[in-house]
Amino acid sequence: MRIYCMHLLLLLAMCAAAIPGLSYAQMNDFDTRPQGGTVEDAGPERKRSRFWFRPKMETATEQLMYAQTLEVEGKIKAAGKAYRELVSFWHESPEALIAQRGFARTLEKRAKHADAFDELQYLFDFFPGKFDYEEALNEQYRIANLIAAGKRGDVLFFNGWTRPERALPLYEKIVANGPRWSRAAEVRFRIGQIQEKIGEVENACKAYEVLGMRHPKTVFAAESALRRAYCLETLALKRPRNEKALLEAMRAFEVFLSRYPDHDGVEGAAGKSTELMERLATLAFQQAEFYDKMVKKSAAALIAYRNFIQRYPTSRLAPQASLRIQILTKELGRDENEG
């Protein structure tokens, strides 16, 4: 029986040793990587020592020197394992922070960009205020951009295609890590661009709106205001008889024109504003025509035409509305005289 138990323990140890090194995301209940699963976020979990992942050295200082030596010698995978073992076993030591940064670095050297991003995220979650935020955010942003630009399906003569939406969760983590970071507006604009590109127009509108509110003095504020207006127009045209949606889009273009009169997109925005105004005018004119010609309520039609002229005096339909006002006014006046 004792021999059987020893064999069983040996077998379990061999299986554990065969398991590849786990990244921060794999050790947690969530995965920030776009290709990951859909397990609900249960919060980050601290690295802990496992009996099959024991450090080679007796102290954190010796283990750090050991890992750094392996990295210098080009033994990147082994160095990463040594860094991870240090963080797991001596998590509260000063060396743990250096080792965590080293672990992320070795993953990136192995082109495991998503895992490297996750391990940088570990710094924000478990070592807040103890590292250079600017450096870590720049590194995360660089990795997110690599993932966004990376191609999938690159086989033989096919160059593959990019799927920038894979980086969306990463960009969102970056702005959560550094909402006041010097490049936060740039990241938010990137989020809006990607969402707009993949057809998530409502989300893009929100991203552009948040950028405008939180970073109104940045170089991205004007472009985000313009893109938001175009997104609202796209949504409005899906509901061409929704006056509220058309009006919101038209006003977004008007706000852009008033705030950024020197922007390169002014001419196009002015044209869109006019088009939306004409659509709204058409709806208002059709309502007046309904009273005028369908239900034959001249008094109601006269009020509707007058409201039309007041709201849309420059519309191409304004001359027709003015003519109907003259005719209806005479007809109603004649009826009153006859009465």
Q: Give the model confidence (pLDDT) of 140-149 as tens digits.
A: 999 999 999 9
pLDDT of residue 29: 31
CA angle 261, 206, 119 (to 5 degrees): 115
Pick the CATH number of 28-150+163-177 from 3.30.70.930, 1.25.40.10, 3.10.129.10, 3.40.50.1950: 1.25.40.10
Q: Can you give the pLDDT at residue 18?
A: 43
Q: What stretch(es) of the chain map to CATH 1.25.40.10?
A: 28-150+163-177
Whole-number Å distance between alpha carbons of 76 and 2: 40
Residues 284 and 312 sit within 8 Å (Cβ to Cβ): yes
Which residues sit opposite 162 in a β-bridge?
A: 151
How much is the pLDDT for 54?
Answer: 81
Within the chain, where are the H helices? 2-18, 24-27, 60-72, 76-89, 94-109, 113-126, 133-149, 168-177, 184-197, 201-214, 220-237, 243-259, 266-289, 298-311, 318-338
CA-nearest of 232, 240, 318, 306 to 279 is 240
pTM confidence score: 0.78
Instruction: Transcribe 155-167 into DSSP letters.
Output: BTTB--EE-GGGG
- Tell me if 195 sits within 8 A of 235, measured CB to CB: no
Cα 291 from Cα 298, distance rounded (Å): 7
Q: Which residues contact 127 (CB under 8 A, 6 or more apart)?
A: 96, 97, 100
Residue 338's pLDDT is 55
Here the contacts of 45-51 (C-beta below 8 Å, separation 24 or greater) are 46/91, 46/126, 47/84, 47/87, 47/88, 47/91, 47/122, 48/88, 48/91, 49/85, 49/88, 49/89, 50/16, 50/88
Please give the average pLDDT of every successive group of 10 residues along the chain, which has 339 residues.
51 45 37 39 76 84 98 97 96 97 98 97 96 97 94 50 88 97 97 97 97 96 98 96 96 97 97 97 96 93 95 95 94 66
If 0-12 CB within 10 Å is exposed, 13-18 middle and 19+ buried, where does residue 242 land? middle
pLDDT score, position 40: 43
DSSP 8-state class, residue 50: B
pLDDT for residue 48: 85
Q: What is the pLDDT of residue 2?
A: 52
**What is the pLDDT, as a whole number, of residue 238?**
95
pLDDT in tens, 204-225: 999 999 999 999 999 999 999 9
Q: Which residue has the tokens 């590109």?
A: 197
